[in-house]
Chains A and B, each alone.
Chain A
Amino acid sequence: MNAAAALEVVELRIELDDGDHEDIVDEVSFRVAAGEILGLVGESGSGKTTVGLAVLGHTRRGARIRRGEVRIEGRDILALTALERQRLRGKLVSYVPQDPASALNPAMRVGKQLEEALTEHGFGASDAERRERIVETLGEVLLPVGDAFLRSYPHQLSGGQQQRVALAMAFANRPRVIVLDEPTTGLDVTTQAHVLETVRDLCGAHGVAAVYVSHDLAVVATLADRVAVLYGGRLAEVGPTGTLFRAAAHPYTRRLVEAIPELSGEHALVGIPGTAPRPGHRPQGCFFAPRCTYARPDCLSAEPPLAEVSAEHRARCFYWADVILEAAAARPEATPRPEIEVDDALVGVRELNAWYGRRQVLFDIDLVVRPRECLALVGESGSGKTTLARCIGGLHTRYDGELTFKGQPLAAGSQARDAAARREIQYVFQSPYNSLNPRKTIGQIVAQPLRLFFSAAGTEGRRRVSDALERVQLSSTVINRYPHQLSGGERQRVAIARALAAEPQLLVCDEVTSALDVSVQAAIIDVLAELQRELHIGLLFVTHNLALIRTIAQEVAVMSEGRIVERGIVDSVLDDPQADYTRRLLADTPSLEAALAASA
């Protein structure tokens, strides 16, 4: 073990501040050396953001740090008074928030907010010195240095710029430790790549120990030197990046890696059934046991300790040796996708232009979706892919151009379409938290298209509802439940079941996995792929994640700024991209395999 780590977290326990004092996280320990980046990985409910905040000695309302130490350069900041801690924040240890738009004061100019970070911590003997440091920091994060920029308000900057301002504020005082909470969420891939590069350079140049909190393993693999995986508020595994991802010792990490979509599409995407336990609902014994394929009876009764796999690598599992052994065995290969049949088009789009208010968002779109095939529509936010999907789905009417369905012209907007067209094209929305009526039961929600299109009620209706739910692998016990009682993944399945109940010929899926955890995403993709195969329906799959499409689509259309820049068979486009944009997109998308290959 080398010199004292810049950051050392010891046996951290944070619990809820109510009567039950249930833990959010417990027994969390890790260390980060100066200049090193530790990826703190976990899905929703893992407690990773809570741990990130605790490194600054801060908790959100309703939570309290109960036990543990957070040592920065040897000093335990949890043992300090609130005033002393306040002095250290922003100076010794900094934070970069997830959503810079809401984290910057909307009523204060950007320059002032930067200045404040310096003056409050007594930096510099004069204004000129401070100005110099600001200029220096802004340069490091590649932001313009002029007065105009400093005098602007946060809302006048783009998302990427706001995030860089947050980075500048965090690095201004040259802290020893920095916590970054998913700072690239919501940024487009290219900006994300730049921001990550900036982070890496800054940490290296100033010898800062960084904790990078994220749910995106591909990003973490590209950036971090070591990774700590959190599950259910406990440390499941911690170790060097390459080792962890190539030869994981904890079943959860293994399964997580298998759930990450790959650009190469070699392996099948495997999800993890069930959901992660939330505070207060954690089972006896090992938290992961209920979902674990390696689980033995004793896993359910006793919580495993953090076992040492090697000097730098620890895993909280009784049977880690078996897990490593099996890791050597091959991963299941991807099932080949069905061949495309060259048939008449199911959906035809010709010379489509669309507007939002006065702004034109789609330019001269030509597209064909064939029956029984999956066409992936790929692009970043602002590319127009969602607008195109909504035009086809009947949710957007401000367009001109031609839309045909099964050879017949398709009216603009679902209100203008006939019942057959409305039934045969079904739309599944991105957010499962938004697309189900909170006041209706699952049964009522899925029955809605049945009542409308088939006048099916009573026993016949109930049977069909059960059938639809079975198709998406949900038991009929959910029929009388309300959406808030289901997890995100389950809710998305309900949304798909609702669409299926109408017996459509085309399913438009609008970023249906973007709001879900990685492990759940894989399961949903699985369901969709299987449905497409069994029911022979057409699928229009909209996504920003290039890596997903190989598992599910036959053809792909790449969009940028309202235009289709490239289209063709998935394998051709991904292996041999023709358009510049596609090449750039492929290059900038963080990829787990690429990162591992680079580090090998």
Chain B
Amino acid sequence: MSQAVVDTAEVGRGATRSRPWRILFAAAWGQHRTKVGVAITLALVLIALIGPFVTPYPPDQGVENQLPFAKPSADAWLGTDTIGRDVLSRFLAGGLSVLILAGLSTAIGVSLGVAVGLVAAYSRGKLDDLLMRGMDVILSFPQIVFALVLAATVGPALWLLVLAVALTTTPRAARVARGAAVEIVERDFVRAAEAIGLPRRRILFSEVLPNITSPLVVETTLRLTFNIAVVAGLSFLGFGLQPPAADWGLMINENKNGLTIQPWPVVMPIIAIGLLTIGTSLIGDGLNRAAIGIERGRRGSE
């Protein structure tokens, strides 16, 4: 088999370690890019989670003897920001919000999307049409525009941000879920379950859902990558956490004007957000290639 795709033909043919989950993750882990992705993402997640507890200074107070936009020094390793706060402290404290908001909205959005996609795929006919047209309406907006429109009503509110991003994630996840489920729903083992009279809901969750986990896992990481960008972007535009909170997106916004003198309060969050999205993206790609490889291996054994 070519190098580019993981050769899991062996696995597909009859390895003893056979639980589908383990096969997927093991195959994904076997690739360089996944390992790199996990390392990067883990590092940043740790910074975001532990950071707030190890800040040298409280993130919302000024540093003594330091002017705004001061260069890095022994007192403030990354210098100070636009109103004299320690950049390092604000950086360490600023990741948690991005992580939680992006993670929460992705989890909610994907769950809703999967439910919609499954029901649509199984019902076919009118319900399918109705649901997917509804999804199309949400899809006629870029994610950020939708969030902005919602923000225009009640102003920047965190619950609104999560709602907006989750709602825009739903149709994208629903499309993928439906696409994968439609193929499964045609298979004879679903017919067999229907024939012995298994109730619809049981069939969806116990027969269909376990068979679409591979594309769903890949799509979830993809959505997470995008949502991190959207959430950080909204914060950057001023619709996320409000000052004086510490937030990477907000930091970029606040300190944009001082780029020529003191780039660090902008550069650090930029690097962090960039690395985080690259990390999740690598993991998603690793999973994707693993899933393709397994599929090819399975087909080869037929």
Contacts and interface: CB of A to CB of B under 8 A. Distances in A.
Note whether A and B contact each other (Cβ less than 8 A).
Answer: yes
Interface in A400-440: 414-415, 417, 419, 422-423, 426-427, 429-431, 433-440
* Nearest 4 A/B pairs, CB to CB: A435-B188, A439-B210, A429-B188, A434-B188
Contacts of A435: 187-189, 191-192
7 contacts: A16-B1, A394-B195, A395-B191, A422-B197, A426-B196, A482-B18, A484-B14
Contact of B194 (A61, A414, A419, A440): A414
A485 B196 contact: no
Contact of B196 (A17, A440, A502): A502
Interface string A543-567: 0000000000000000000000000
B194 A452 contact: no
B213 to A, nearest CB: 8
A419 B1 contact: no
Contacts of A417: 197
Nearest to A428: B192
Contacts of A427: 191-192, 195
Contact of A429 (B192, B298, B301, B302): B192
Contacts of B210: 437, 439-440
Given A414-B194, A437-B207, A437-B211, 20 more contacts: A18-B1, A61-B2, A395-B191, A419-B197, A422-B195, A423-B196, A426-B196, A427-B195, A434-B188, A435-B191, A438-B20, A438-B211, A439-B20, A439-B210, A449-B196, A452-B197, A453-B196, A482-B18, A485-B14, A498-B192
Given A393-B195, A415-B194, A498-B192, A433 B302 contact: yes
A168 to B, nearest CB: 31
Interface string A479-496: 001101100100000010
Contacts of B2: 17, 61-62
B13 interface: yes
Contacts of B1: 16-18, 62
B197 A485 contact: no
Contacts of B14: 484-485
B26 interface: no
Dominant secondary structure of chain B at its interface with chain A? helix
A453 B196 CA distance: 9
Contact of A488 (B13, B197, B198, B302): B302
A417 B196 CA distance: 10
Contacts of A462: none
A484 B18 CA distance: 9
B189 A434 contact: yes
Contact of B195 (A16, A17, A414, A481): A414
A214 interface: no
B193 interface: yes
A452 B196 contact: yes
Interface in A240-293: 278, 280-281
The winner among B12, B13, B191 for most chain A CB atoms within 10 A is: B191
A49 interface: no
Contact of A436 (B20, B189, B198): B189
B7 interface: yes
A439 B211 contact: yes
Given A62-B2, A439-B210, A439-B211, A414 B196 contact: yes
B66 to A, nearest CB: 59
A422 B12 contact: no
Contacts of A484: 12-14, 298, 301
A46 interface: no
Given A438-B211, A484-B298, A485-B14, A431 B196 contact: no
Contacts of B13: 278, 281, 484-485
A484 to B, nearest CB: 6
A439 B14 CA distance: 14
A359 B235 CA distance: 57
Contacts of B195: 393-395, 414, 422, 426-427
B3 to A, nearest CB: 9
A582 interface: no
Interface in B1-38: 1-2, 7, 10, 12-14, 18, 20
A561 B20 CA distance: 43
B197 A415 contact: yes
A429 B191 contact: yes
A452 B7 CA distance: 39
A161 interface: no
Interface in B146-192: 187-189, 191-192
Contacts of A448: 193, 196, 198
A79 B195 CA distance: 58
A427 B191 CA distance: 10
Contacts of B302: 433, 488
A168 B196 CA distance: 49
A291 to B, nearest CB: 18
A437 B190 CA distance: 8
Nearest to A495: B192
Contacts of B187: 434-435
Contacts of A438: 20, 211, 298
A452 B198 contact: yes
Contact of B197 (A62, A278, A414, A482): A414
Interface string B286-302: 00000000000010011
B118 to A, nearest CB: 15
Given A62-B2, A278-B13, A482-B18, A437 B189 contact: yes
Interface string B191-233: 1111111100000000100110000000000000000000000
Interface in A1-58: 16-18
Contacts of A436: 189
Contacts of A18: 1, 7
The winner among A415, A438, A439 for most chain B CB atoms within 10 A is: A439
A380 B107 CA distance: 50
Contacts of B10: 280
A436 B187 CA distance: 9
